[in-house]
Chains A and B, each alone.
Chain A
Amino acid sequence: MVKKTSFLRKALFFLLVLSIVLFSIFPFIQMISISLKYPAEWGDPSLIPKNINLEAYKELLNIGQETKNVPESVLTLLEETPDLSEEQREAILSKYRSTGDVFPFLRYFLNSFLLSFFAALVTVIFAIFGAYSFSRLRFPGRSVVQRGVLFVYMFGGILLLIPLYRMFVSFGWISIPQGAFVSLMIIYIVQTLPVSLYMLGNYFRTIPFSIEEAALIEGASRFGTIWRIIIPLSSAAIGTVFIYCFMIAWNEYLFASVFLKNYTELYTLPMGLKALFTSKNAIWDRIMAASVLTATPVILLFMSIQKNLAGGLTEGGVKE
């Protein structure tokens, strides 16, 4: 009797865990499935594609697109006349190369990467010095700075959007593409700096001061101790903060949509995907392939820091 109920309990528990996992990852499975299906199969609720279609990925990553729209007859003609020079071949092929409807996924990917990478880099540098300062040095107003940093939790992006937009317009930065790009980078730095300061500050406090003290007595300068002791000892925490900042910038849509509105060539991935979906090229396999390619780097980065980040999260260190 006892055995029977405990078996039933186990089965129910197993079912619960299974449904939790399915609930969490179903959209990801569906995304991969549709990105690999041919259009005829989209309506089929089965998640396993009967035939694998890699066309969407090839198109997004620009693999083998050179001769895609060229008619057969022209291709055979080119093959049968070997005495054409490279330039002539190129000239013939370029007539058929479509330019308008190809989704420049790689460019958006690069834009997003540059923006996120440099924003995260600058944030981490400012945060290391700032956090060191208020976790180690005594100066007037220290506690105000420390608490004020978390005050930012209260403000959503929408509250800052209008004044920041108005400010950057009056600097004249929005009217040139480079200016708009740099403005956006500055905004990402500002948005991630407070939480980075808080997280690094908490971490620096766990490093025993005696290590630094020894170095200081030996005659090292404060900058020397930061460079030779603090940074190497907290490299895991710094990496985590960097990836956190990177992910925030990589995911951001609101500010990007306002600041980069007029510069199609500067679109970030979220903007590009949204534009692709609203345009007539909205084809599910391409959309899903683009989704998979956008999510993958973030999920990989996350897996690499999972342990540290989970710790940081539970200390209340992450703002959305």
Chain B
Amino acid sequence: MFAQRMSLQEREKVLGLVLVTPAVAIILSLILYPIIYNLYLSFFDVNPMAGNTYVGLENHRNVVTDPTFWKSVFTTIVYVFSTTIGTTLMGLLVALAMNRKFPFRGVVRSLVLFPYVAPVISVVFSWQFFFDPVNGIFMDLAYDKLGLFSSRFNLIGSPSTAVWVAIAFSIWKNFPFSYLMILARLQAIDETLYEAAEIDGASGWHKFRFITFPEVYFVMGAIILLRVIWNFNKFEEVFLLTENVRVLSVYTYYKAFVGTMELGQGASLAVIQFILLIVFILFYVKRVLKW
């Protein structure tokens, strides 16, 4: 009897390992190994057709002494900061609105999710058309109707204005995620808290400040962290909308795959980008989430 139970446990152990092995093997060989391999490649002059030549820290040195790299770091910081704040606040606003009862709420709740689920490629052209200097509605409003500008121009054409379009696009695309997370938390708040506050004569703002806000604080902290991680690495949402905004991912893509393919420098850029992200996460987790 005892021996049989042992063998049953043993069998379970073996079966567990057998079943999980394919998944783990795939993750180890195609995620973990490439990350280490990327670190290795960053010390080499990489030529896909011929071999790799060891160059030490030359790639890293080339990257950090290039002023366009620092410009792209700055663009990335502006992009990540604005989009994170924007998506979170927009998500909060929409969640507060959707938490109330109103007619057709079900339909409205699913329409609001459309930007998040539609493929990036299928919505960028509509945004480009919106800002198109000749046909777009934006210029029609801003120039013809309101007279804000002295001429029609392409807002997506120059890097300094295109970054703001990219930020607006990202907020539009991603706010539904923040909204869903915050709404889930809002629905879990005990109604009696609000009733008690009303009896005590609390105003709408006070109810938000002293009941709602403390309840959603940690959810917001978590979605801000996720948003920073995701938007820091974001490629498609920027590159497909406009090729003028060189955030770090786009910068790396150009370095590694366009023109003289500098794969070694690309690898070194990816390492630097990863280190920047880790530093931020450690700081944020300690300071804001107070873990």
Contact = CB atoms under 8 A, between A and B. Distances in A.
Say which size band chain A's interface belongs to: 35 or more
B24 to A, nearest CB: 6
Given A126-B22, A137-B13, A162-B38, A17 B263 contact: no
B35 to A, nearest CB: 7
A277 B125 contact: yes
Contacts of B123: 27-28, 31, 291, 295
Interface in B85-120: 93-94, 97, 100, 102, 108, 110-115, 117-120
B114 A28 contact: yes
Interface stretch (B60-68, B159-167, B207-215, B226-234): B226-234
A45 B249 contact: no
B125 A291 contact: yes
By secondary structure, the B interface counts as helix
A313 B177 contact: yes
Interface stretch (B129-137, B194-202, B282-290): B129-137
B48 A169 contact: yes
A229 interface: no
B253 interface: yes
A97 interface: no
CB-CB nearest 8 A-B residue pairs = A156-B233, A137-B16, A130-B23, A139-B16, A163-B34, A133-B19, A295-B122, A133-B20
Interface of A: 13-14, 16-17, 20-21, 23-25, 27-28, 30-31, 34, 42-43, 45, 126-127, 129-130, 132-134, 136-140, 142, 145, 148-149, 152-167, 169-170, 186-187, 189-190, 193-194, 197, 222, 247, 250-254, 257-258, 269-270, 273-274, 277, 284, 287-288, 291-292, 294-295, 298-299, 302-303, 306, 310, 313-314, 316, 318, 320
Interface of B: 9, 12-20, 22-24, 26-27, 30-31, 33-35, 37-38, 41, 46, 48, 93-94, 97, 100, 102, 108, 110-115, 117-123, 125-127, 129-130, 134-135, 137, 140-141, 172, 176-177, 180-181, 184, 222, 226, 229-230, 232-236, 239-240, 248-249, 252-253, 256-257, 263, 266-267, 270, 273-274, 277, 281
